[in-house]
Amino acid sequence: DTGVSQNPRHKITKRGQNVTFRCDPISEHNRLYWYRQTLGQGPEFLTYFQNEAQLEKSRLLSDRFSAERPKGSFSTLEIQRTEQGDSAMYLCASSLVTESSYEQYFGPGTRLTVT
Amino acid sequence: GQSLEQPSEVTAVEGAIVQINCTYQTSGFYGLSWYQQHDGGAPTFLSYNALDGLEETGRFSSFLSRSDSYGYLLLQELQMKDSASYFCAVRGHTGGFKTIFGAGTRLFVKA
């Protein structure tokens, strides 16, 4: 399977702990995105990378959130000092941007529960 | 900033046609996308419109009017498996090229 993969699929943590999620995009895709989705809402933009460069980070994202994409391949999203409000599905997507298309391919997500 | 509005729910019967509207506000508009998401699943891409007009892909069509900041997704010959959430998403330029998603329209298809 050459789709986007995310690990872990589920994570339960206690408030105050740090968590890290991993995303492996489709290999030839140059853009990688992180979104957060809560029940009944659309994916909320967090950040995106073009190759290894982080080009934009949502203003809604506190400094407890950090993302990296070393060597322009896989990416990690870390949340420090988790809070109950961080409970959500964290989605990763990748794309190969052309002038005629902007299709993003989503991974299955990591569901985070903060207790 | 960027914002999108779409109806929260739509109900239709199997075999019918349904239209899901989306209005948006953004600066530096580049295109409007539509995604489908089944419960427990990941969003999957349906269509992308960068220019005015209708794009057809099988039973699904998407329309864009840039002057009206408006688009819609048209689903024909509805099937039970089309019951899902549908999101419009705008790619704009407000300091970047990020994509902003609407809150989604939940489609219920009844027999």
C-alpha distances in Å from residue A107, one per residue of A32, A80, B12, B57: 11, 23, 29, 23
**CB contact at 8 A, A93 and A105:** yes
DSSP A100: S
Q: Does A104 touch chain B (CB under 8 A)?
A: yes
In angstroms and rounded to an integer, the radius of gyration of the C-alpha atoms of chain B is: 14
Across the interface, do B48 and A109 touch by the CB < 8 Å criterion? no
What is the reported pLDDT for B92?
Answer: 74
Residue B101 has pLDDT above 70, yes or no: yes
Across the interface, do B101 and A55 touch by the CB < 8 Å criterion? no
Across the interface, do A107 and B31 touch by the CB < 8 Å criterion? no
What is the reported pLDDT for B97?
Answer: 67
Q: Among B41, B45, B101, select the one facing A42 at the smallest CB separation.
A: B101
- Of the two residues A59 and B88, the one the predictor is more confident about is B88
Across the interface, do B99 and A40 touch by the CB < 8 Å criterion? no
In chain A, the N- to C-terminal Cα span, in Å, equals 34
Kindly list the residues from chain B whose CB atom is less than 8 angstroms away from the CB atom of residue A40. Answer: 103-104
For the stretch A27-60, pLDDT in tens is: 989 899 999 999 999 999 999 998 889 888 888 7
For A45, residues 6+ apart whose C-beta sits below 8 A from its C-beta are A33, A35, A58, B98, B99, B100, B101
Residue B84 has pLDDT above 80, yes or no: yes
In angstroms and rounded to an integer, the radius of gyration of the C-alpha atoms of chain A is: 14
What is the reported pLDDT for B99?
Answer: 86
For the stretch B63-79, pLDDT in tens is: 999 999 999 999 999 99
